[in-house]
């Protein structure tokens, strides 16, 4: 990948915060100047600082001043680059988050969800911080190197040549072992990730561990993982200890080399002791800046996979706002013609085949069939989670017909209220969870009326802050049946034209399920089209139409009274259920 092009594309998201970079450059200038002046101050201190108290005092004051200047420059650099990084991260994350929300479901089917959660939660921070922090370090090291190198040459160009011969050799040795060490550390992280996976699995499925009495077994598994970690850790720590020891030896040897040759120049009168002291100081600065710059460049290249992934996402463009305006807003009928669908990762076996169906406005429809028959897949196509199907799904009324893939996706999905088997509650108030997706303001009276119908009024009334109580999937004890009823309230408050219940009453007892169906069949919802996907046959007899599915096909359809007479399979299902 082209790093320069990528960095330029990333930094454009921080254009509103470029003012912080002026503080960064001020810090870099202060750092470069102060390092150079500290070298000169050391020279003057050694040569003249001990001649009298005035020289000593003046030199110490200069040293303190330039030390403060160096500290100020470091403060400006650290403050500005960290704040800029945080602001840039926030801007990039917002863009990536919107793109993740706009991803088609097929993207998540192929890649999974957890990797994207980890990417936006951790990887973006790691990548953007690596760019900003390391570029800041590289710039700092360049300014320090220029200032120190200039003073090296000013003090002794001959000794500078000796340093230029010795330092690259030392740096190459350090870089080689540093490269080995970084790879070993990366392998150690990978091994420790197995520990995380083990802890995550066992704690997440703690009930299963207890039911099967596998506590001791899981501890044994942990020990086996830790054994591998500790064996690897020994070799890592041996390498790390050797590396750090070698660095110290090489650094001291390089200083000894400079002192040996420089001492000869001092004895011969070519340079002063102060000049040699300043030379050693600036040599250490030069060596450390080069080593630090190499480390920074290495850290940037190490994050190349993150940069590549980020570049790919930022270049993706999923335009979900396009499409023609929805022109059918009342008396909406649904027509499906010759529908055939394959999942993206299985192009050989159709999940749905030759589906033809018509659902009139206000009709209450049940879709039944065994697991894997295609019921939920059909619902996914209704909701346009997948659009790569053959055939047509259309909305129509007396004056207009529109193929759903041609309609603006936002406007189209506003027609639907959906409740799935697993109802998810956000970490927010009860009220905000209930009005999630509502385009118009919803009064608390309206909410309480629906909650009362769903037998939830007393439950929420008993909470300290009632509708303003903070909830979430794990924040308070809410049963599966209560969640499903909350989901139905949420869907109805949206005032949809089409309500889809996908196994949405599976956790309810018969009485509560009966009450919900009574509400949906009441006069208030006579124009609401209801599509129910269910395995439970308790209430489907009252449906206007029952659609039977098997192996991706519609095998029969009709009312309960028609199917009980004409379809032996349906009759058998009813008899077995009761």
Asked if residues 423 and 454 have their Cβ atoms less than 8 Å apart, the reply is no
* CA–CA separation, 251 and 255 (whole Å): 6
pLDDT of residue 476: 59
Asked if residues 498 and 416 have their Cβ atoms less than 8 Å apart, the reply is yes
* CA–CA separation, 76 and 28 (whole Å): 8
**How many angstroms separate the Cα of 17 from the Cα of each of 82, 87, 133, 235, 350?**
12, 7, 16, 45, 52
Residue-wise pLDDT tens digits, 161-196: 877 777 777 777 777 777 787 778 778 877 877 887
Whether the per-residue pLDDT at 474 is higher than 60: the answer is no
Phi-psi region of 169 (alpha: psi -120 to 50; beta: other; left: phi over 0): alpha
Whether the per-residue pLDDT at 531 is higher than 90: the answer is yes
**What's the fold here for domain 333-577?**
Rossmann fold (3.40.50)
* CA–CA separation, 413 and 382 (whole Å): 9
Q: What is the DSSP letter of 502?
A: E
Residue-wise pLDDT tens digits, 355-386: 999 999 999 999 998 888 888 899 999 988 88
Q: Which two tokens stand for residue 256?
A: 């000894």
Give mean pLDDT, residues 114-129.
80
Radius of gyration of the chain (CA): 35
| Average pLDDT value over all residues in the chain | 84
Asked if residues 179 and 239 have their Cβ atoms less than 8 Å apart, the reply is no
Asked if residues 375 and 535 have their Cβ atoms less than 8 Å apart, the reply is no
* CA–CA separation, 531 and 365 (whole Å): 5
Q: Which two tokens stand for residue 7?
A: 């960095």
Phi-psi region of 503 (alpha: psi -120 to 50; beta: other; left: phi over 0): left
Q: Which two tokens stand for residue 34?
A: 């102060």
Whether the per-residue pLDDT at 44 is higher than 90: the answer is no
CB atoms within 10 A of CB 298: 14
Residue-wise pLDDT tens digits, 58-99: 888 988 999 999 999 999 988 998 888 888 888 888 888 888
Whether the per-residue pLDDT at 1 is higher than 70: the answer is no
CB atoms within 10 A of CB 391: 16
In the chain, CATH 1.20.1560.10 sits at: 1-154
pLDDT of residue 319: 59
pTM for the whole structure: 0.72
CB atoms within 10 A of CB 487: 24
| Closest residue by Cα to residue 78 from 112, 129, 18, 38 | 129
**What's the fold here for domain 1-154?**
ABC transporter transmembrane region fold (1.20.1560)
427 phi, psi to nearest 5 deg: -75, 80
Which residues touch 541 (CB under 8 Å, ≥6 apart)? Answer: 560
| H runs (alpha helix) in 367-504 | 375-382, 409-413, 430-434, 444-453, 457-461, 480-493
Which residues touch 446 (CB under 8 Å, ≥6 apart)? Answer: 493
């Amino acid at each position: 990948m082209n790093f320069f092009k990528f960095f330029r594309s990333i930094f454009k998201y921080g254009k509103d915060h470029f003012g912080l970079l002026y503080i960064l450059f001020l810090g870099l200038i202060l750092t470069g100047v102060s390092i150079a002046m500290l070298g000169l101050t050391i020279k003057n201190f050694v040569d003249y600082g001990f001649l009298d108290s005035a020289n000593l005092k003046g030199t110490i004051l200069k040293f303190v001043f330039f030390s403060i200047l160096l500290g100020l420059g470091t403060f400006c650099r650290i403050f500005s680059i960290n704040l800029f990084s945080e602001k840039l991260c926030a801007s990039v994350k917002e863009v990536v988050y919107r793109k993740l929300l706009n991803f088609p479901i097929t993207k998540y089917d192929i890649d999974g969800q957890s990797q994207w959660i980890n990417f936006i939660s951790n990887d973006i921070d790691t990548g953007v911080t690596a760019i900003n922090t390391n570029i800041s370090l590289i710039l700092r090291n360049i300014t320090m190197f220029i200032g120190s190198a200039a003073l090296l040459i000013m003090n002794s160009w001959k000794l500078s040549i000796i340093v230029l011969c010795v330092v690259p050799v030392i740096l190459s040795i350090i870089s080689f072992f540093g490269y080995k060490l970084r790879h070993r550390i990366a392998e150690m992280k990978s091994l420790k990730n197995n520990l995380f996976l083990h802890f995550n699995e066992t704690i997440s499925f703690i009930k299963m561990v207890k039911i099967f009495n596998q506590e001791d077994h899981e501890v044994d598994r942990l020990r086996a993982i830790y054994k591998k970690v500790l064996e690897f850790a020994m070799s890592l720590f041996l390498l790390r200890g050797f590396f750090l020891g070698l660095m110290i030896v090489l650094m001291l040897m390089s200083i000894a080399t400079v002192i040996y040759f420089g001492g000869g120049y001092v004895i011969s009168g070519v340079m002063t002791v102060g000049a040699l002291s300043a030379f050693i100081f600036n040599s250490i600065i030069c060596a450390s800046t080069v080593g630090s710059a190499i480390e920074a460049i290495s850290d940037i290249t190490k994050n190349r996979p993150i940069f590549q992934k980020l570049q790919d996402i930022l270049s993706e463009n999923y335009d979900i706002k396009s499409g023609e305006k929805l022109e059918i807003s009342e008396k909406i009928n649904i027509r499906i013609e010759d529908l055939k669908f394959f999942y993206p990762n299985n192009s050989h076996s159709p999940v749905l085949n030759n589906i033809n169906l018509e659902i009139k406005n206000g009709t209450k429809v049940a879709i039944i069939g065994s697991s894997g028959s295609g019921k939920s897949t059909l619902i996914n196509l209704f909701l346009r989670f997948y659009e790569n199907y053959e055939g047509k799904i259309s909305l129509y009324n007396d004056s207009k017909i529109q193929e759903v893939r041609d309609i603006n996706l936002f406007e189209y999905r506003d027609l639907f209220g959906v409740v799935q088997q697993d109802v998810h509650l956000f970490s927010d108030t009860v009220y905000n969870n209930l009005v999630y997706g509502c385009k118009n303001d919803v009064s608390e009276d309206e909410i309480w009326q629906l909650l009362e119908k769903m037998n939830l009024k007393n439950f929420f009334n008993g909470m300290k802050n009632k509708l303003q109580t903070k909830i979430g999937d794990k924040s308070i004890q809410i049963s599966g049946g209560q969640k499903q009823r909350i989901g139905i309230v949420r869907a109805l408050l949206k005032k949809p034209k089409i309500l889809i219940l996908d196994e949405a009453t599976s956790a309810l007892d018969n009485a509560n399920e009966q009450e919900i169906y009574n509400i949906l069949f009441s006069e208030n919802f006579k124009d609401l089209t209801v599509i129910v996907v269910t395995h439970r046959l308790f209430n489907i007899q009252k449906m206007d139409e029952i659609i039977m599915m098997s192996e991706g096909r519609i095998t029969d359809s009709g009312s309960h009274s028609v199917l009980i007479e004409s379809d032996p399979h349906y009759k058998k299902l009813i008899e077995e259920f009761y």
